[in-house]
């Protein structure tokens, strides 16, 4: 244990290292027990060395972005959580941006607008990192990552640097080549277009933020949509949950958002177990009453029984 601690600290001189670190501070649910090792490498070199060390020691790794789409167990994570938040550089090359995985998507959106570039406004005010958004092809307000992504640098299973020129058809609704792999997204390039009406661009961005605020996205800790939508069900998951009268339903500290059936909030002291039980309950009720099998979008992470 001491060898691991010393080496992780030695590698991450610019970064941050902690042990038995509660993950609740790093998830938008504000839920999650401790990670044995928690490390934020200071740059890509430290990240690579950290991952190599953890791999040599056969320590399980979880890559953490903005923690906006995960439910971490109350028992936490046995192994090392590697947070990419310090890898947040954004650089401009003509009308393209090169973005490190840990940059917040909303910051990237604002950066693009400052550089008078349009095409990334749709994602303004959405929580999460660029890497996390690429990982699952985040989408909202008529746009998705796959629309603008032109290159991705990532580490493969052997921690070798690879470049992918993404094929449009491989980036579908909540489905990308990264979701079935343990590859680590380091940075990506997006292609934008010069904007000739900045006022309108910012207006759009602020309208997305206002819309999220109005829908109650920021009133209590949550992880956005709990279930994927499925066209075959004839209505969005939130509507289906609403139809069977579950909106506002409480289970311990977990509650289905009073304004939005597809969001579960942590009312203050919710445990991961309560959130998970509420997810199960919704699935059972929707299946029983409507015959549809809702598929969770939020990922369960860590030590679950
Ligand atoms: C209020 C609110 C509103 C939301 N609205 C939307 C919305 O409109 N549309 C939408 O699509 N989503 C939405 N979400 C969900 C969430 O914001 C997105 O899924 C986001 O893309 C998650 O990114 P993240 O960095 O937080 O990922 P995390 O939750 O940290 O991680 C999610 C997964 O991605 C993996 N991952 C993260 N970074 C990397 C990397 N660099 N390399 C490899 N794997 C990586 C993780 O290992 C994990 O498996 C919302 C969430 C909240 C809280």
Mapping DSSP to helix (H, G, I), strand (E, B) and coil, where does residue 193 land? strand
Residue 188 beta carbon below 6 angstroms from any ligand 1 atom: no
Residue 126 beta carbon below 6 angstroms from any ligand 1 atom: yes
For residues 30-53, b (16+ Cβ closer than 10 Å) or e, as one string? bbbbbbbbbbbbbebebbbbbbeb
Q: What is the pTM of this model?
A: 0.97
Predicted confidence (pLDDT) per residue in 260-294, tens digit: 999 999 999 999 999 999 999 999 999 999 999 99
- The residue whose CB lies within 8 Å of the most ligand 1 atoms, and thus the one to mutate among 65, 80, 137, is 65
Predicted confidence (pLDDT) per residue in 156-205, tens digit: 999 999 999 999 999 999 999 999 999 999 999 999 999 999 999 999 99
Mapping DSSP to helix (H, G, I), strand (E, B) and coil, where does residue 191 land? strand
Beta bridge partners of 98: 91, 189
Residue 59 near residue 77, CB atoms below 8 Å: no
With CA atoms as reference, report the closest residue to 115 among 98, 132, 92. 92
**Distance linking the first and last C-alpha atoms of the chain:** 25
Residue 27 beta carbon below 6 angstroms from any ligand 1 atom: no
- The residue whose CB lies within 8 Å of the most ligand 1 atoms, and thus the one to mutate among 60, 63, 128, is 128
- Per-residue model confidence (pLDDT) at position 184: 98
Dump strand ranges (E) for 27-67.
34-40, 61-64
Residue 305 CB partners (closer than 8 Å, separation 6+): none
């Amino acid at each position: 244990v001491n060898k691991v601690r010393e080496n992780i600290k030695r590698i991450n001189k610019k970064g941050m290292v902690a042990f038995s670190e509660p993950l609740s501070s790093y998830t938008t649910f504000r839920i999650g027990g401790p990670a044995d090792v928690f490390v934020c490498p200071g740059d890509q070199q430290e990240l690579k060395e950290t991952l190599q060390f953890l791999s040599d020691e056969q320590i399980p790794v979880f890559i953490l972005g903005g923690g906006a789409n995960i439910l971490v167990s109350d028992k936490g994570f046995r192994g090392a959580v590697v947070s990419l938040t310090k890898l947040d550089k954004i650089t401009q090359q003509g009308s393209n941006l090169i973005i490190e995985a840990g940059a917040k998507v909303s910051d990237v959106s604002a950066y693009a607008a400052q550089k008078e570039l349009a095409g990334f406004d749709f994602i303004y005010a959405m929580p999460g990192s660029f890497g996390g958004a690429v990982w699952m092809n985040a989408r909202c307000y008529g746009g998705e990552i796959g629309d603008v992504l032109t290159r991705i640098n990532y580490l493969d299973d052997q921690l070798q640097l690879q470049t992918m020129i993404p094929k449009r058809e491989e980036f579908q609704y909540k489905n990308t080549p990264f979701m079935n792999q343990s590859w680590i997204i380091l940075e990506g390039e997006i292609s934008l277009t010069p904007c000739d009406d900045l006022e309108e661009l910012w207006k759009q961005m602020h309208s997305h933020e206002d819309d999220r605020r109005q829908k109650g996205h920021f009133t209590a800790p949550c992880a956005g949509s709990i279930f994927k939508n499925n066209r075959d069900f004839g209505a969005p998951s939130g509507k289906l949950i609403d139809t069977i009268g579950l909106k506002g339903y409480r289970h311990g500290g977990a509650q289905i958002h009073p304004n939005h059936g597809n969001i579960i909030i942590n009312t203050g002291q919710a445990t991961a177990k309560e959130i998970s039980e509420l997810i199960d309950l919704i699935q059972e009720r929707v299946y029983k009453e409507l015959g549809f099998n809702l598929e969770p979008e939020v990922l369960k992470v860590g030590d679950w029984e």
